[in-house]
């Protein structure tokens, strides 16, 4: 029988259930339940060097004791160590507590540094009255674990201690020997759980200690193995070999009012290379908003269509899918290609007809939303799947469309994202994809000027909208709310629409939000595109893909509530024509520190990659890729900013393991990604 936590002394049914809440079932799970922080009682921190949110051992002389007025009774004790001061705050003031703290005496305290009404404070610290030169008792760093209610740190520490003593020596080494330099597995875990007296606290607290980095490296290797095996698996099924288009592409380009940029041509060539192989293409095209990804997709489609295979293009929202449908119909119908439309909201006869066209192959090009994934949608001969705005779809969905290929073949996949993904993140989230970057905007674009304006000056902004629209240019007014609620957002947009309609009677206004019927939305979007409306009031539904070159002004209300990448996406709706464009970020003060930094970043840069790097720094990877993908990036230890430098080597070692030490792959996945799907390595 296998060993469980119940085999540790002191673990009964109740403790086992609490541990299960932390996903700890075995002593080995305990070993990998790593501290989230450390308590350092080994040194006294000078009060001039305190960090908010950190626990600290302090010692000082009591300056004053008083009971500040306020809703809750509390006692405040100020102490000073000659370099700084801090306030100790007690909310439960029992009889005699005040008498203990005598002005002029010396006290040693331990607690978490916070910001309170009097500046830096410790709430309910542990305290001990000492003589000023009393020596510190011998002590080392104490691990603090993530835990759950009812399970104390002391108990966890004691369980971990047993696991270290009795089970850590049996842990197998899963990395090739050249990777194990300073710490073997056992030594690394021991160091991390029970750091020695002389350990470097700062490195440990930040996860930069070599013992930690050794585990982090192993986790990154496991992730790369998972990505590589998936890639190999997908590529083990044959894909159609596509011939370069002779006719269609020339006709498409001849019908355009412009020439592809150098970057568009280069990326198209990279795609064509892939398509000519019998292995499925797995390519991610990154290009900032407005870089012209749609044309690159259309050029890729030409090759596949001319080789007599079907192409499916999928977008994350109805509006975006509709816009692609309109574009592609205009481009391809004159060339004799029938384009079909498939969306979730389409019902009855219309839906049946679309499905029929797709199934019989009459429609060679199919455009739609995630409805394309659904089981009852069958293709005659699907050769290429194009997914726009990838960050909104999960990997599972990507795999689902792959399965729509003919028996024995898998379609090529082209993924396009307008959220520039920092290189490190791309390596981890899309390590299974090849990447192309459209790093050049079409000529003639004028840069967007971004300004931030406090809500108090909203009047001036309305006047500016009026002036802009009277001069024949169009504008967007974007409404956002705190809650992620479509109906509240819609309400805000409706209110703003009513207000601005009254204020700007000489302008034609339109309204789009997520709660409108698709036909209604489409009609409004079309009217705006045809310059029949001056001002479009919208929710963030217009975030991706919408393309109206004559719109040169965008107002974003409550801009402080949105993330950087989302603001960048929204702003990308303007600056698509030749007139100078403006983006006004209306915010409510006071701004948080993070909010200030976000708005400043947007003012300073229009480069999507710069913004994405900053977003990664401010909000972490989950936010950038969308929640659906956080599972994929669910690192237990690794932090992509901190550990970026390890990635190239992790990728190399992962490949090496699969090549020369394949027997290590499964145990590594078992250790770090027990729930990830497994793909046989071939
Ligand atoms: P995105 O990469 O954000 O999807 P789009 O494909 O929507 O960008 O293109 C943005 C705009 O630029 C569209 O109006 C498109 O017609 C135009 N465009 C694309 N490529 C070029 C080009 N090479 N020269 C001029 N305009 C272009
Ligand atoms: Mg686009």
pLDDT for res 632: 45
| Average pLDDT per consecutive 10 residues, the chain (682 residues; last block may be shorter) | 87 94 93 89 89 89 93 92 94 88 94 90 91 81 88 92 92 86 89 89 87 94 89 86 96 94 97 95 87 95 97 86 90 96 88 93 94 84 88 57 72 84 69 85 85 94 93 91 60 89 94 84 88 92 73 92 83 85 92 88 88 76 45 70 85 93 93 79 52
Q: What three-state secondary structure class fits 301?
A: helix
Give the distance, in angstroms, between the CA of residue 270 and the centroid of all CA atoms in the same chain. 27
pLDDT for res 620: 60
Ligand lying closest to the C-alpha of residue 264: 1
Number of Cβ atoms within 10 Å of the Cβ of 586: 22
Beta strands in 362-460 (DSSP E): 365-368, 382-388, 412-417, 434-438, 448-454
Ligand lying closest to the C-alpha of residue 294: 1
User: Do 584 and 555 contact (CB within 8 A), yes or no?
Assistant: yes
- Exposure string of 338-370, with b = 16+ CB inside 10 Å and e = fewer, is ebbbbbeebeeeebeebbebbeeeebbbbbbbb
Residue in the structure block whose two tokens are 């405040």: 76
Concatenating the DSSP letter of every residue in 244-258 gives PPSSHHHHHHHTSSS
> What is the domain class of 448-605 according to CATH?
alpha beta
Ligand 1 nearest atom to the CA of residue 291, by list position: 2
Distance CA 213, CA 34 (A): 13
Q: What three-state secondary structure class fits 627?
A: helix
**Residue 667 structure tokens:** 């145990």
Fold match between domain 207-309+381-394+412-439+641-682 and domain 448-605: yes
pLDDT for res 399: 62
Q: How far is the CA of 511 from the centre of ligand 2 (A)?
A: 22
Distance CA 552, CA 473 (A): 7
Ligand lying closest to the C-alpha of residue 578: 1
pLDDT for res 26: 94
Distance CA 119, CA 246 (A): 73
Give, as one character, the DSSP assignment of residue 33. Answer: -
Long-range interactions of 5-14: CB distance < 8 A, separation 24+: 5/29, 5/30, 5/159, 8/159, 8/162, 8/163, 9/162, 10/155, 10/158, 10/159, 10/162, 11/159
Q: How far is the CA of 323 from the centre of ligand 1 (A)?
A: 13
Choose the CATH number for 207-309+381-394+412-439+641-682 among 3.40.50, 3.40.1350, 3.30.1460, 3.30.420.
Answer: 3.40.50
**Residue 516 structure tokens:** 């409108």
Q: How far is the CA of 292 from the centre of ligand 2 (A)?
A: 7
Which region, left, alpha or beta, applies to residue 583 given φ > 0 means left and ψ of -120 to 50 means alpha? beta
Angle of the 593-604 helix axis to the 564-571 helix axis, nearest 10: 30
pLDDT for res 90: 93
Which phi and psi angles does 294 have, rounded to 5°?
A: -60, -45
Q: What residue's CA is closest to ligand 1, atom 23?
A: 260
Q: How far is the CA of 149 from the centre of ligand 2 (A)?
A: 47
Cα angle 337, 342, 348; round to 5: 120
Ligand lying closest to the C-alpha of residue 576: 1
pTM over 0.85: no
Preceding peptide of 590 cis, ω within 30°: yes
Q: How far is the CA of 442 from the centre of ligand 1 (A)?
A: 7
pLDDT for res 474: 95
CA dihedral 605, 607, 608, 614 (to 10 degrees): -50
CATH number of 43-135: 2.40.50.140
Beta strands in 288-346 (DSSP E): 310-314, 339-342
Q: What residue's CA is closest to ligand 1, atom 5?
A: 292
Q: What residue's CA is closest to ligand 1, atom 10?
A: 290
Q: What residue's CA is closest to ligand 1, atom 20?
A: 292
Ligand 1 nearest atom to the CA of residue 438, by list position: 2
User: Do 579 and 444 contact (CB within 8 A), yes or no?
Assistant: no
Q: How far is the CA of 444 from the centre of ligand 1 (A)?
A: 11
Mutate to test the pocket of ligand 1, among 252, 264, 290, 416 (most ligand atoms within 8 A of CB): 290
Q: How far is the CA of 256 from the centre of ligand 2 (A)?
A: 17
Q: What residue's CA is closest to ligand 1, atom 26?
A: 442
Concatenating the DSSP letter of every residue in 268-300 gives HHHHHHHHTSSSPPEEEEEE-TTS-HHHHHHHH
Ligand 1 nearest atom to the CA of residue 444, by list position: 25
Distance CA 295, CA 290 (A): 11
Distance CA 450, CA 286 (A): 23
Q: How far is the CA of 290 from the centre of ligand 2 (A)?
A: 7
Ligand lying closest to the C-alpha of residue 259: 1
H-helix or E-strand spanning residue 224:
helix 210-235
Q: What residue's CA is closest to ligand 1, atom 4?
A: 293
List helix spans (H) across 82-152.
97-100
Give the number of C-alpha atoms closer than 13 A to the C-alpha of residue 401, restricted to the C-beta side.
31
Q: How far is the CA of 461 from the centre of ligand 1 (A)?
A: 29
pLDDT for res 41: 83
pLDDT for res 544: 57
Q: How far is the CA of 388 from the centre of ligand 2 (A)?
A: 7
Angle of the 185-193 helix axis to the 210-235 helix axis, nearest 10: 130
Distance CA 582, CA 449 (A): 5
Ligand lying closest to the C-alpha of residue 316: 2
User: Do 583 and 574 contact (CB within 8 A), yes or no?
Assistant: yes
Name the maximum alpha-carbon separation found in the chain.
94
pLDDT for res 682: 46
Ligand 1 nearest atom to the CA of residue 576, by list position: 11
In sequence order, the β-bridge partners of residue 64 are 78
**Residue 642 structure tokens:** 């901190």
Q: How far is the CA of 489 from the centre of ligand 2 (A)?
A: 24
Ligand lying closest to the C-alpha of residue 262: 1
Instruction: Give the burial class of 656: count Cβ atoms within 10 A of its Cβ; 0-12 exposed, 13-18 middle, 19 or more buried.
Output: middle
Q: What residues are in contact with ligand 1 under a 6 Å CB criterion?
A: 258-261, 264, 287, 289-295, 418, 442, 545, 547, 549, 576
Mutate to test the pocket of ligand 1, among 440, 442, 549, 606 (most ligand atoms within 8 A of CB): 442
Domain map (residue ranges) of the chain: 1-30+147-203, 43-135, 207-309+381-394+412-439+641-682, 317-380, 448-605
Q: How far is the CA of 437 from the centre of ligand 2 (A)?
A: 14
pLDDT for res 630: 39
User: Do 525 and 323 contact (CB within 8 A), yes or no?
Assistant: yes
Pairing status of strand 474-478 against strand 448-454: unpaired
Instruction: Give the burial class of 422: count Cβ atoms within 10 A of its Cβ; 0-12 exposed, 13-18 middle, 19 or more buried.
Output: buried
Mutate to test the pocket of ligand 1, among 295, 443, 445 (most ligand atoms within 8 A of CB): 295
Q: What residue's CA is closest to ligand 1, atom 25?
A: 442
Q: What residue's CA is closest to ligand 1, atom 16?
A: 292
Mutate to test the pocket of ligand 1, among 258, 261, 292 (most ligand atoms within 8 A of CB): 292
Q: How far is the CA of 607 from the centre of ligand 1 (A)?
A: 16
Q: What residue's CA is closest to ligand 1, atom 24?
A: 442
Contacts of 569 (CB under 8 A, 6+ apart): 289, 418, 419, 543, 544
Beta strands in 549-599 (DSSP E): 551-556, 581-587
Ligand lying closest to the C-alpha of residue 327: 1
Give the number of C-alpha atoms closer than 13 A to the C-alpha of residue 545, restricted to the C-beta side.
26
Q: What residue's CA is closest to ligand 1, atom 18?
A: 292
Q: What residue's CA is closest to ligand 1, atom 19?
A: 292
pLDDT for res 482: 47
H-helix or E-strand spanning residue 325:
helix 318-332
């Amino acid at each position: 029988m296998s060993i469980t936590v119940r085999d540790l002394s002191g673990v009964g049914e109740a403790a086992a259930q609490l541990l299960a809440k932390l996903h700890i079932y075995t002593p080995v799970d305990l070993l990998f339940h790593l501290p989230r922080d450390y308590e350092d009682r080994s040194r006294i921190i000078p009060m001039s060097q305190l960090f908010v949110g950190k626990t600290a051992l302090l010692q000082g002389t009591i300056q004053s004791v008083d009971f500040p007025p306020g809703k809750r009774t509390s006692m405040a004790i100020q102490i000073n160590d000659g370099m700084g001061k801090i306030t100790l705050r007690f909310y439960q003031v029992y009889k005699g507590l005040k008498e203990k703290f005598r002005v002029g005496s010396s006290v040693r305290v331990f607690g978490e540094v916070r910001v309170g009404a009097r500046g830096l404070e410790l709430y309910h610290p542990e305290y001990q009255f000492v003589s000023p030169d009393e020596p510190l008792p011998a002590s080392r760093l104490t691990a603090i674990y993530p835990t759950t209610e009812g399970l104390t740190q002391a108990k966890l520490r004691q369980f971990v201690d047993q696991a270290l003593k009795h089970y850590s020596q049996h842990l197998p080494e899963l990395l090739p020997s050249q990777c194990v330099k300073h710490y073997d597995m056992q030594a690394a875990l021991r160091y991390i759980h029970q750091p020695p007296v002389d350990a470097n606290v700062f490195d440990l607290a930040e996860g930069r200690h070599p013992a930690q980095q050794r585990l982090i490296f192993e986790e990154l290797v496991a992730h790369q193995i998972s990505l590589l095996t998936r890639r190999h698996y997908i590529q083990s099924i044959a894909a159609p070999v596509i011939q370069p288009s002779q006719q269609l592409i020339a006709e498409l380009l001849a019908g355009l009012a412009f020439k592809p940029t150098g970057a568009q041509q280069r990326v198209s060539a990279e795609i064509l290379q892939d398509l000519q192989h019998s292995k499925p293409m797995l390519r991610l095209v990154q290009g900032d908003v407005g870089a012209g990804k749609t044309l690159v997709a259309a050029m890729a489609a030409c090759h596949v269509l001319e080789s007599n295979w079907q192409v499916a293009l999928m977008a994350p929202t109805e509006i975006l899918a509709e816009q692609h449908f309109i574009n592609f119909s205009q481009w391809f119908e004159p060339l004799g290609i029938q384009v079909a439309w498939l969306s979730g909201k389409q019902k009855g006869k219309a839906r049946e007809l679309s499905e029929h066209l797709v199934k019989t192959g009459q429609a060679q090009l199919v455009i739609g939303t995630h409805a394309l994934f659904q089981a009852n949608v069958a293709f005659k001969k699907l050769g290429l799947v194009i997914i726009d705005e990838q960050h909104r779809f999960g990997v599972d969905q990507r795999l689902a469309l792959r399965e729509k290929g003919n028996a024995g073949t898998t379609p090529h996949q082209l993924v396009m994202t307008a959220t520039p993904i920092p290189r490190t993140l791309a390596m981890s989230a899309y390590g299974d994809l090849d990447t192309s970057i459209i790093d050049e905007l079409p000529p003639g674009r004028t840069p967007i000027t971004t300004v931030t304006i406090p809500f108090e000056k909203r009047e001036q902004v309305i006047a500016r909208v009026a002036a802009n629209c009277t001069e024949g240019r169009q504008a967007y007014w974007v409404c956002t709310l705190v809650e992620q609620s479509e109906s509240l957002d819609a309400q805000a947009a409706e209110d703003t629409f009513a207000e601005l309609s009254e204020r700007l009677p000489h302008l034609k206004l339109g309204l789009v939000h997520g709660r409108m019927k698709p036909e209604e939305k489409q009609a409004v979007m079309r009217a705006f595109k045809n310059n029949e409306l001056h001002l479009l009031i919208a929710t963030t539904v217009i975030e991706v893909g919408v393309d109206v070159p004559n719109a040169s002004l965008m107002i974003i209300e409550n801009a402080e509530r949105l993330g950087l990448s989302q603001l960048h996406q929204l702003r990308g709706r303007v600056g698509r024509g030749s007139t100078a464009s403006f983006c006004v970020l209306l915010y409510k003060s006071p701004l948080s520190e993070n909010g200030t930094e976000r708005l400043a970043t947007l003012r300073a840069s229009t480069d999507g990659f710069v913004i994405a790097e900053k977003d990664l720094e401010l909000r972490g990877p989950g936010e950038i890729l969308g929640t659906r993908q956080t599972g994929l990036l669910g690192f237990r230890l690794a932090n992509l900013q901190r550990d970026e430098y390890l990635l190239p080597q992790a990728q190399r070692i992962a490949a090496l393991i699969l090549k020369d030490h394949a027997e290590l792959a499964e145990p590594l996945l078992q250790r770090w990604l027990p729930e990830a799907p497994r793909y046989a390595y071939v």
